[in-house]
């Protein structure tokens, strides 16, 4: 590198061949000291490394933006196990199939088929809903056998409720009326394919509430786990009332689920007759009439039990016998 002169006064570089400092105007003579300006050589290859680092950073940013855009504007295919069906018939059939399966996975999936607002309402008590659904399976199994799901018939009802279509699920003599509502899926919901998806918002003959109280009532009746005890059941009206709260009472479906498994057993015990009388409020129900008819024609039942079944079936049971059995609504 050629030598450069510097101004002896201000130290500025002087253009080679010039004898005057352009900055301060000082004359630079031939004898003026000459300073060396070191040459700042860069290390070999340092420019290539820097450019490579920048390229990697830019590439990473581009890839990140690409993944974000993919996630924002594309949807994963819906999980069939979690999706609301678009067919109302399939919805009802799948719900009862899950009930019949009666495993934790089945009961959870049945819960997921409930309408969004119903799921939200019971989100903190899903276990109680499972208990109610499990009780329903035990009830239907006791009446129609473990393969009751094979007898399921699903069809639309002529009636409608506000904002819902009504479908009827029938297992032999037992009927359930289900309200099915379209579900308001978000635009980014994986299930949202532009079609209408349905969930179960209400079951007329079956309540999802009271899983714990139903279990308690079953316990004081002596039938928890399918074990019958008619004497305990017939004499536990006050205990059952306590289980359902000071202002609560059994719904018709709860009454049937509590009593029918008992009265179907000819060996239920001394309280069997009173349990039959307690069916008086639901004596017109087709399933109750089916069971009463079985009792009438089965000589394995004690005479008093068959007499009680006849009185309830024909609607001519003596009021005092009904009152003694704990029936509070005779008319």
The beta-carbon contacts of 102-106 under 8 Å, at least 24 apart in sequence, are 102/133, 102/134, 102/137, 104/130
pLDDT at 194: 75
Domain residue spans in the chain? 1-35, 48-77, 88-203, 213-324
At residue 22, the 3 state secondary structure works out as coil
Q: What is the pLDDT of residue 208?
A: 82
The confidence band for 325, taking pLDDT boundaries of 50, 70 and 90, is very high
> Which residues partner with 34 through β-bridges?
5
Output the pLDDT for position 82. 54
Counting Cα atoms < 13 Å in the Cβ hemisphere of 178 gives: 29
pLDDT at 45 over 80: no
Contact between 41 and 34 under an 8 Å Cβ cutoff? The reply is no
| DSSP secondary structure letters along 175-223 | EEEEEEEE----TT-TT-SSS--EEEEEETT--SS-HHHHHHHHHHHT-
Per-residue pLDDT averaged across 51-64, rounded? 74
Determine the average pLDDT of the residues in 301-317. Answer: 96
Q: Which of 37-46, 114-123, 139-148 has the lowest mean pLDDT?
A: 37-46
Q: What is the pLDDT of residue 110?
A: 96
The fraction of the chain above a pLDDT of 90, given in percent, is 47
126-144 vs 104-112: helix axis angle to the nearest 10?
A: 110
pLDDT at 43 over 60: no
Among the listed residues 260, 263, 280, 273, the one whose alpha carbon sits nearest the alpha carbon of residue 328? 280
Tens of pLDDT, residues 157-210: 988 887 889 999 999 999 999 999 998 877 766 667 778 899 999 999 888 876
Lowest mean pLDDT among 214-223, 239-248, 307-316: 239-248
pLDDT digits (tens, 9 = 90+) for 68-125: 655 545 444 444 445 789 999 999 999 999 999 999 999 999 999 999 999 999 999 9
pLDDT at 156 (0 to 100): 96
- Measured distance CA(178)–CA(154) in Å, rounded: 10
Q: 263-279, pLDDT tens digit by residue?
A: 999 998 878 999 999 99
Instruction: Check residue 210 and give left, alpha or beta (phi > 0: left; psi -120 to 50: alpha).
Output: left
Q: Which two tokens stand for residue 185?
A: 């899926």
pLDDT in tens, 209-237: 765 555 554 444 444 333 444 555 544 44
pLDDT attached to residue 74: 47
Q: Where residue 244 falls among pLDDT bands split at 50, 70, 90?
A: very low
Strand pairing report for 152-161 and 34-35: unpaired
Q: Can you list the positions of beta strands (E) in 118-266? A: 152-161, 164-171, 174-182, 198-203
pLDDT band, very low/low/confident/very high, at 10 (cuts 50, 70, 90): confident
The percent of residues in the chain predicted with pLDDT above 70, rounded, is: 68
- 319 has a pLDDT exceeding 60: yes
Supply φ then ψ for residue 143, to 5 degrees: -80, -45
Average pLDDT of the chain, as a whole number: 78
- pLDDT at 5 exceeding the cut of 60: yes
Q: What is the pLDDT of residue 213?
A: 52
């Amino acid at each position: 590198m050629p030598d450069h002169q510097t101004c002896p006064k201000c130290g500025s570089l002087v253009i080679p061949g010039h004898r005057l400092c352009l900055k301060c105007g000082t004359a630079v003579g031939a004898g003026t000291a000459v300073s060396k300006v070191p040459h700042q050589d860069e290390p070999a290859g340092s420019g290539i490394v820097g450019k490579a680092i920048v390229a990697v950073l830019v590439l990473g940013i581009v890839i990140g933006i690409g993944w974000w855009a993919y996630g924002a504007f594309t949807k994963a295919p819906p999980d069939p196990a979690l999706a609301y069906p678009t067919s109302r018939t399939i919805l009802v059939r799948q719900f009862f199939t899950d009930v019949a399966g009666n495993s934790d996975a089945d009961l959870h999936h049945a819960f997921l088929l409930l309408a969004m607002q119903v799921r939200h309402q019971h989100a903190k008590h899903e276990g109680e809903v499972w208990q109610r659904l499990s009780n329903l399976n035990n009830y239907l199994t006791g009446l129609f056998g473990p393969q009751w799901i094979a007898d399921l018939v699903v069809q639309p009802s002529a009636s409608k409720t506000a904002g819902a279509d009504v479908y009827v699920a029938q297992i032999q003599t037992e009927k359930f009326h289900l309200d099915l509502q379209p579900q308001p899926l978000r635009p980014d919901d994986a299930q949202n394919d532009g079609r209408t998806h349905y969930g179960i918002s209400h079951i007329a003959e079956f309540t999802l509430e009271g899983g714990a109280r139903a279990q308690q009532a079953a316990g004081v009746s002596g039938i928890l786990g399918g074990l019958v005890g008619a004497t305990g059941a017939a004499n536990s009206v006050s205990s059952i009332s306590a289980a359902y709260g000071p202002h609560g009472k059994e719904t018709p479906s709860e009454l049937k689920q509590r009593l029918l498994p008992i009265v179907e057993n000819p060996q239920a015990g001394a309280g069997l007759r009173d349990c039959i009388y307690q069916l008086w409020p639901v004596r017109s129900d087709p399933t109750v009439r089916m069971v009463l008819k079985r009792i009438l024609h089965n000589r394995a039942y004690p005479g008093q039990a068959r007499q009680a079944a006849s009185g309830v079936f024909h609607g001519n049971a003596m009021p005092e016998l009904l009152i003694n059995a704990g029936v509070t609504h005779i008319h």
